Structure 1
Amino acid sequence: MQTHEIRERFTAHFVKSGHTEVPSASLILDDPTLLFVNAGMVPFKPYFLGQQTPPFPNGTATSIQKCVRTLDIEEVGITTRHNTFFQMAGNFSFGQYFKKGAITYAWCLLTGSLEEGGYGLDPERLWVTCYLDDDEAADIWHHHIGVPKERIQRLGMADNYWSMGVPGPCGPCSEIYYDRGPEYGAEGGPIADDNRYMEIWNLVFMQNERGEGSGKGDFEILGPLPKKNIDTGLGIERVACILQGVDNVYETDLLRPVIDVAAELSGADYGSDHDRDVKFRVIADHSRTGMMLILDGVTPGNEGRGYILRRLLRRIIRSARLLGATGPTMEQFMSTIMDTMTPSFPEIKKNRERILKTAVNEETAFLKTLESGTELFDHAAAETRAQDRKTISGERAFALHDTYGFPIDLTLEMAREQGLEVDTEGFEKLMAEQKARAKADNKAKKHGHQDLSVFREFVDEHPTEFVGYENLSSESTIVGLVHNGQTITEAHPGDEVDVIVDLSPMYAESGGQLGDRGFFRYGGIEFPINDVQKIAKKVWVHKTRIPDNAQLELGAQVETVVDEAWRHAARQAHSATHLIHGALRQVLGPTAVQAGSMNKPGYLRFDFNYTEQLSPEQLAQIEDITNAVVDADYQVNTIETSLEEAKAMGAMALFGENYGDIVRVVEIGGAFSRELCGGTHVGHSSQIGPVAVLGESSVGSGVRRIEAFSGLDSFRYLSKERALAEGLAAHFKTPSNQLPERIAQLTAKLKAAEKHIAELHRQQLSSNISNFVDQAQVVNGVKVIAEQLPAGTKAGDLRTLAADIRGRCGEGAAVVVLAAEDENAKVPFVIGATKAATQRGIHCGDLVKVFGEYISGRGGGKPDMAQGSGTQAGGLDAGFSAVIEELHNFK
């Protein structure tokens, strides 16, 4: 049975039983506690935590959720049951059926005949585990289902008790195992051998509330939940393994084709050597996970999700090379995994080109890094052995990572392959110091899961009616006041208050558009509204500060008013964002996919997945197309329809956004721009006014950003640019249309003059080479030239001069140390060594670190030439002395 059919049978089984089918959420959710969705229940967390009421008619749901777990990347392929990406099929009950229902549903699907829609598993090969004191579940399994007592085993908190890891719902669980036969291990059930007895389904019975604590069992059970819930998870890949009669999850219909491609490209055989097989499995697993992450909008980068993706893709490339592949492989791997996964995820088809381009570009960049980094690593490993050590220093590992872009995980892998270790503690210390020097991350991203339960009653009983598409003011009733996380009945002067009203014309921040500004009018006083946020897509929270000599009370009748100028300019910018997106896709093609946006009155920025810098001609074309649509005066149409119909119309959606059954489509110029969007927009494209593209830049690997002004802000910007051009034209006594040519001529002359001056400077420095060599001192048998050169000498000149001096030193051991203060008050320095010096074990990279300590500098390089830069010129003399002292002590 193919995996796609396994999925279909699961969904059909529960839909037939009255469960609402819930599509898989994106792997990327707006949850600061998670990099990726890592369990099937994650999208349902608000319902289990009591923050929202489940919207399912029968209080039951079913889903097959995409999941990624990356904590144990290093273990991938070593065991044959775990993947970084997996599909978790689940059924959920929110206060409806409980243990008996969950157990019955699971058993019927697993053992039901193929003709009846089941999986047809032999019931005699199924074992179950229950929590130690869960007699109720054990009794259901035995008396209601008929599982013999000897195939029901009891396990403790670590195995059969579930919680989210934080205070909240928890409860015992019951797991279902399949006996794969004596060829896979010892008899005796899951307790005896969990390789032979493969876990396929976990049934969680949420019946209690847990308190504070850590670990799987170190917490207090506070008492029963008001409503008992069910959360189950069946591993699609593991069931496929059983139904397809293969040994492990890597040999199912989804992953085995990638392994076969890897074998063809590398010439290596799969199944004959464990270490080699691990590399095949890494390629298969990471190809699928990488592809699914790119599908959901992740691009390779150096932080967070982007770093995980980059790490996965680079492990694929390196594993392929270790197997024997010599050329590019990513396109074949990605094409193969997309073919196997498309039946279950049809959205792959329209994103195929973008996925391929992202993965192949990362491979191209990494192959260059791999070539240079491997050479540097091999030198570090050889030097470590030459010094009779088994550990590569943290400094070397950090230099490989920071200076040459060689990932630490590859350094660790390569060290293990050569029987060496890495000083990870030293590496981490240097990484921590680097992070301390960098700007702090956005603190909001580091916060835990925000407690929104205070808004639960409003989500359930007082959802906000938004009337802002048609009106800029409304008569409203205050139905909620929240201050410092608590509901209140009155707000007093100076209080920062979240105000909830029954209906509002204020747009709440979402979809990249900032919330409206405006005010409440009450008792002749205006209460400024400086932000509007949305809770659970149902409640508008208006943030205000109570003015002096004023107060607000629950139940008060207020007038809610939108700042008309703010709304007008915000609509212009939001509609302009749609036009920029449409123009972008016309110029760059369908692979330029939106990766985020922000618009506020008069200004917009648009992020998109693309790997190349845009040319001035492309930017000009995007701006021209956008303003042509403005000039065309297209009507802006909004259509409310079903999600499926919107997709059929070709409406574009955002990655990671969850949409309801009924969606709003905003259309400008027909097929030119048709997007799912709940924002506010102009009535006709001409109302946007002129759009001025400011430029584009990189905001991360594979992500570019366009910024632009709209409306009056665009006009003001263009007026300033015109005034600047007129001023330059008057200054240079040149017509404005000839300014580029005139400035280019002057720039060329300036560069020529600078080049001539630099050459004279180099000649002057070179004339002193003989003096430098003649004045050299001999330290421990090594000739040392240590000189501070005139201020303004550049790093490139230092390097050239050091190489020249080194060449003049002949066959003997010599070290050259040159430094200067440049025009930016930085202190570049270079250290070079002759071949005879390096043969004695002198390493310029080590000497650079000694020198750098005295000028607040750092650097690195090869044994015969290294360089760096510092900031404290006052330490140069001490730095020279320290290097000489180091050579004095050298053996």
Structure 2
Amino acid sequence: METAEIRRRWLRYFSTRGHTVVPSAPLLYDDPTLLFVNAGMVPFKPYMLGQETPPYERATSVQKCIRTLDIDEVGKTSRHGTFFQMNGNFSFGDYFKEKAIELAWELITRDQSDGGYGLDESRLWVTVLQGDEESRQLWKRIAGLPDERIVQRGLADNYWHMGVPGPGGPCSEIYFDRGPQYGPDGGPEADEDRYLEIWNLVFMQEMLSEVRTKIDFDVEAPLPSKNIDTGMGLERMASLLQGVDNLYEIDEVFPVIARVEEITGKRYGANPQDDVRMRVIADHVRSGLMLIGDGVTPSNEARGYVLRRLLRRVTRSVRLLGVQDPSMVDLLTVSKDRMGASYPELETNFARISQIALAEEQAFTRTLSSGTTILDTAVASAKSAGETTLSGDRAFQLHDTYGFPIDLTLEMAGEHGLTVDHDGFRRLMAEQRNRAKADAKSKKVGHADTSVYRALREPGITEFTGYRELSTDSTVRGLILDGSPIEVADKGQTVQVVLERTPFYAESGGQIADEGEITADGARLRVLDVQRPVKGLIVHTVEVTEGTISSGADVLASVDREWRLSACQAHSGTHVVHAALRQVLGPTALQSGSFNRPGYLRLDFAWTSALESTVRDELEQVANLALRYDYPVSATYMPIEKARDLGALALFGETYDEEVRVVEMGGAWSRELCGGTHVEHSSQIGAITLIGESSIGAGTRRVEAYVGLDALRFLGRERALVSQLTEALKVRPEELPERVNSLVARLREAEKELEKGRRTALLNAASSLVDSAADVNGIAVVTHDAGPVDPADARALALDVRGRIAGSRAGVVAVAAVAKERPVVVIATNEEARARGVKAGELVREAAKVLGGGGGGKDDVAQGGGTDATKIAEALQRIQSVVAERSV
């Protein structure tokens, strides 16, 4: 049975039994505690935590999930994978244990011809929490299981909670006995490879007040309504129903391995090391496909870094299997063809997906080539010195100078039997990046404990009136100071205020929060920020500038009119620029992120190359023509399926309700899902002036622009600058480019002449350097600090001086320099010195250690470098000391 069919049967089965089918949430779910959705219950957390009232009593889903803690183990075992799909059925105060067990047992044992999975009842085992006699008796009665196949286990295995105060309860797991060829008898406690867990039924029935560990927690009280949360691993069920050993061999994964066999000429199962690489490729290609499909782009932070790491491991694994040509798009195509049966949007978005992945593959291929050479040299140096650890500064140099990721350094060093000083690497990274800042969102709302916000949310949502008015009479629902509720706030305090109704827009969708003030009898509050810490609740961070404010007070909330107008211009301008990009570049130029504040916007979009000046000009012209056409701007609420049918664009990674707000400009010209504030006609934007276009990562570009008065001010400054230049250069404005180019060309020629003269002067010093040679055990040792010069010139000087050492005298020449603020050292030895055991490669490694780096080369000429230019004199002195030690 194909995986897609297993999925279809699941949804059909529960749909016909009163469950609402809930589409999978994007992998980038709006949950500040998670990097990605990692379990099927994540989209339902607000209902389980009591933050929101569920819109249905029963639900079912097949949720896309990513777990990244075990990336390094992927491929080494048959159980670890990064992407998986979790089938779930949920009850919110409706049915409980008995019905959940009945539904599960019926589906997995019903004959396949009758819509079930047809598992052999005699091979099924279950576990229950020790002491949960009710569940044990239900399994006996409903499933007819004998006592020996109902195993009681402790809290560590059969109790579920979220790791924080909230709901929890016992769980019951279903296992399938794969047979004695997979392990010993004895049930799940004896061997979980043979007895494969396929389904977990969680019976949420208690509220936990304190959670210290998995097995150490306090139960506050029974839940007022008991919930059911179950999860069946789709890939595990597929492996059983398809008669294969593991998830890598199911129909949605193995075709990638088969394609790898074709392009490499290697056979899966023939070589354990090659098998690991093929499994890594198959898993990571599928994960990369799904992540990019949901809007993740490669970067050096957070989610983007996880994707980058997955794609890089694919690239390296393919090359280790002997293929040097680009292969990412080929492999993604195979995966897309298999996953498309369940996720048809992959086909629609594949041009964008493949574009991003190819750009990352090409970029990393260049990094891999240069970084591998440097790493191999560092490994060889460490081994020759008898070391078992690669230094943290060497790992940092690979990362900082060559863009070589630390995880790959760890992996490749391990393949050579070396560990890496990871603590040293992290210390250097901390020094460089000053990682003392917390996540921006958590600084604003402190998401660690949202209980105070949940309590204020219980009476109902905060009504947002800002679409239709800028001033609203309201009442203070609550005040918060340092995460705790208070009754009164005094002048000078900065507190959070929750109102019953508000015109203030809370930061979201790339648009920053409104500014303005809240006034009451004798009190004035300046609004500093507005956020939504929990869904449906708007929280204002304010400074009390006059009087006092108390909970329950009547107030007038007023948004700054100029601020809102400029903010609307910027947000509407973002929609215009997005539509213009798609018109100029094509439909794959989709927005992947945005930010707008009054007068300014930036928009990130999928594209792999820089925009030429003519394209930028065309983009700006198309955008401003849309303003000239004075397109009407409208916002309409509709079901999300209708919005999709209309072609409304959704921002990747955003989560939307079933009822969505569609903002249109000129009808279909620009149609997007958006909750932001906008102008009423495109002409009200005023003007759009592009001020920048750049790369922010492989496959992603960023455009920036000013709008409205800020655009006009920018153009005014540009005009003033042109006027100053034309006056200074005595030319007309249209002649400026030619005159500036001419001056730049002349300047470059002058720089070349200066460089030539400097190089000549440097080499002319060669004879005097020979005269200054120190005698070390009969070897002429020349050391020289050449200062800020090109490494090639330092090398030329070292070779020149070596050639001037007369007769049969042994000689060593060391020239240090500083290039791009980093120290470099070049060492040259003649034949007589080498005959006495003095080798350039060994000397340069010793010098580079002092400089905080590494290096290598041949016995006659070698080059190295480091990070600390202040230690050049010490490094040159070290060379003399090593010559004294090594010469015989």
Task: Give the TM-score category using the shorter length.
Answer: over 0.9
1:682-721 alignment to 2 at 5 Å? 682-721=679-718
3-state DSSP of counterpart to 2:626: helix
> 2:453, 2:534 within 8 Å by CA — same for their partners in 1?
no
Q: Which residue is 1:759 aligned to? A: 756
Q: 1:603 aligns with which of 600, 604, 621?
A: 600
Q: In terms of mean alpha carbon deviation, does 3-12 or 157-166 score higher?
A: 157-166
Q: In terms of mean alpha carbon deviation, does 835-844 or 506-515 score higher?
A: 835-844
Q: Which residue is 2:339 aligned to? A: 341
> 2:840, 2:857 within 8 Å by CA — same for their partners in 1?
no
| Alpha-carbon displacement from aligned partner over 1:391-429 (angstroms, at most 9, x marks no partner) | 555554444444333344444444454xx42232x2431
Q: Which residue is 1:437 aligned to? A: 432
Q: How far apart are the structure 1 equivalents of 2:830 and 2:244?
A: 58
Q: In terms of mean alpha carbon deviation, does 808-817 or 259-268 score higher?
A: 808-817
1:563-578 alignment to 2 at 5 Å? 563-578=560-575
Cα distance 1:421–1:119, how it changes in 2: closer, same or farther (>3 A)?
A: same
Q: Is 2:551 aligned against 1:554?
A: yes
Q: CA deviation at 1:189?
A: 1.5
Q: TM-score, normalised on structure 2? A: 0.93
Q: Which residue is 2:139 aligned to? A: 141
Q: CA deviation at 1:328?
A: 2.2
Cα distance 1:386–1:872, how it changes in 2: closer, same or farther (>3 A)?
A: closer
3-state DSSP of counterpart to 2:492: coil
Residue type of the alignment partner of 2:610: Q
3-state DSSP of counterpart to 2:439: helix
| Alpha-carbon displacement from aligned partner over 1:75-130 (angstroms, at most 9, x marks no partner) | 21222233110001112223332222222221121112334432122222111011
Q: 2:81 aligns with which of 83, 90, 110?
A: 83
Q: CA deviation at 1:281?
A: 1.2
Q: How far apart are the structure 2 equivalents of 1:278 and 1:744?
A: 56
3-state DSSP of counterpart to 1:443: coil
Q: How far apart are the structure 2 equivalents of 1:742 and 1:567?
A: 44
Q: In terms of mean alpha carbon deviation, does 21-30 or 193-202 score higher?
A: 21-30
Q: Which residue is 1:56 aligned to? A: 55
> 1:391, 1:422 within 8 Å by CA — same for their partners in 2?
yes
3-state DSSP of counterpart to 1:282: helix
> 2:462, 2:537 within 8 Å by CA — same for their partners in 1?
yes
Q: Which residue is 2:38 aligned to? A: 38
Q: Which residue is 2:293 aligned to? A: 295
Q: Which residue is 1:245 aligned to? A: 243
Cα distance 1:827–1:638, how it changes in 2: closer, same or farther (>3 A)?
A: closer
Residue type of the alignment partner of 1:468: G
Cα distance 1:47–1:839, how it changes in 2: closer, same or farther (>3 A)?
A: farther
Q: 1:590 aligns with which of 587, 590, 615?
A: 587
Q: Which residue is 2:423 aligned to? A: 428
Q: In terms of mean alpha carbon deviation, does 352-361 or 586-595 score higher?
A: 586-595
| Alpha-carbon displacement from aligned partner over 1:365-397 (angstroms, at most 9, x marks no partner) | 223333334444444444555455555555544
Q: 1:486 aligns with which of 470, 484, 490?
A: 484
> 1:806, 1:832 within 8 Å by CA — same for their partners in 2?
no
Residue type of the alignment partner of 2:29: L
Q: CA deviation at 1:774?
A: 4.2
Residue type of the alignment partner of 2:620: E
| Alpha-carbon displacement from aligned partner over 1:37-60 (angstroms, at most 9, x marks no partner) | 21112222233333x1232232x3
Q: How far apart are the structure 2 equivalents of 1:238 and 1:19?
A: 23
3-state DSSP of counterpart to 1:106: helix
3-state DSSP of counterpart to 1:592: coil
Q: Which residue is 1:14 aligned to? A: 14
Q: In terms of mean alpha carbon deviation, does 388-397 or 482-491 score higher?
A: 388-397
Residue type of the alignment partner of 2:600: Y
Q: 1:634 aligns with which of 625, 631, 635?
A: 631
| Alpha-carbon displacement from aligned partner over 1:558-581 (angstroms, at most 9, x marks no partner) | 222221111111111111111111
Cα distance 1:43–1:800, how it changes in 2: closer, same or farther (>3 A)?
A: farther
Q: 1:882 aligns with which of 867, 875, 878?
A: 878
3-state DSSP of counterpart to 1:461: coil
Q: How far apart are the structure 2 equivalents of 1:393 and 1:469?
A: 58
Q: CA deviation at 1:512?
A: 0.9
Cα distance 1:527–1:396, how it changes in 2: closer, same or farther (>3 A)?
A: closer
Q: How far apart are the structure 2 equivalents of 1:848 and 1:631?
A: 66
> 2:823, 2:869 within 8 Å by CA — same for their partners in 1?
no
Residue type of the alignment partner of 2:68: T
> 2:40, 2:231 within 8 Å by CA — same for their partners in 1?
yes
Q: In terms of mean alpha carbon deviation, does 353-362 or 791-800 score higher?
A: 791-800
Q: Which residue is 1:833 aligned to? A: 828
Cα distance 1:368–1:809, how it changes in 2: closer, same or farther (>3 A)?
A: farther
Residue type of the alignment partner of 2:555: V
> 2:851, 2:869 within 8 Å by CA — same for their partners in 1?
no
Q: TM-score, normalised on structure 1? A: 0.92
| Alpha-carbon displacement from aligned partner over 1:322-354 (angstroms, at most 9, x marks no partner) | 333342221211100011001111111121011
> 1:640, 1:662 within 8 Å by CA — same for their partners in 2?
yes
Q: How far apart are the structure 1 equivalents of 2:680 and 2:410?
A: 59
Q: In terms of mean alpha carbon deviation, does 639-648 or 38-47 score higher?
A: 38-47
Q: Which residue is 1:179 aligned to? A: 177
Q: Which residue is 1:232 aligned to? A: 230
Cα distance 1:65–1:803, how it changes in 2: closer, same or farther (>3 A)?
A: farther
Cα distance 1:443–1:392, how it changes in 2: closer, same or farther (>3 A)?
A: closer
Q: Which residue is 1:802 aligned to? A: 798
Cα distance 1:752–1:443, how it changes in 2: closer, same or farther (>3 A)?
A: same
Q: How far apart are the structure 2 equivalents of 1:868 and 1:554?
A: 64
Residue type of the alignment partner of 1:880: L
> 2:393, 2:428 within 8 Å by CA — same for their partners in 1?
no
Cα distance 1:871–1:185, how it changes in 2: closer, same or farther (>3 A)?
A: closer
Identity of aligned residues (%): 49
Q: 2:253 aligns with which of 236, 255, 260?
A: 255
Cα distance 1:481–1:407, how it changes in 2: closer, same or farther (>3 A)?
A: closer
Q: CA deviation at 1:233?
A: 1.0
> 2:61, 2:87 within 8 Å by CA — same for their partners in 1?
yes
Residue type of the alignment partner of 2:717: K
Q: CA deviation at 1:23?
A: 1.8
> 1:813, 1:833 within 8 Å by CA — same for their partners in 2?
no
Structure 2 unaligned spans of 5+: none
Q: How far apart are the structure 2 equivalents of 1:191 and 1:562?
A: 63
> 2:823, 2:851 within 8 Å by CA — same for their partners in 1?
no
Residue type of the alignment partner of 2:424: K
1:201-220 alignment to 2 at 5 Å? 201-210=199-208, 212=210, 214-220=212-218
> 2:650, 2:672 within 8 Å by CA — same for their partners in 1?
yes
Q: CA deviation at 1:685?
A: 1.0
Q: How far apart are the structure 2 equivalents of 1:812 and 1:654?
A: 73
Cα distance 1:682–1:412, how it changes in 2: closer, same or farther (>3 A)?
A: closer
Q: How far apart are the structure 2 equivalents of 1:770 and 1:169?
A: 82
Residue type of the alignment partner of 1:147: L
> 2:638, 2:661 within 8 Å by CA — same for their partners in 1?
yes
Q: How far apart are the structure 2 equivalents of 1:813 and 1:207?
A: 85
Q: How far apart are the structure 1 equivalents of 2:869 and 2:372?
A: 34
3-state DSSP of counterpart to 1:546: strand
| Alpha-carbon displacement from aligned partner over 1:194-253 (angstroms, at most 9, x marks no partner) | 112111001122233445565432444455444432221100001111112222211111
Q: Which residue is 1:532 aligned to? A: 530
Q: How far apart are the structure 2 equivalents of 1:745 and 1:337?
A: 54
3-state DSSP of counterpart to 1:101: helix
> 2:356, 2:698 within 8 Å by CA — same for their partners in 1?
no
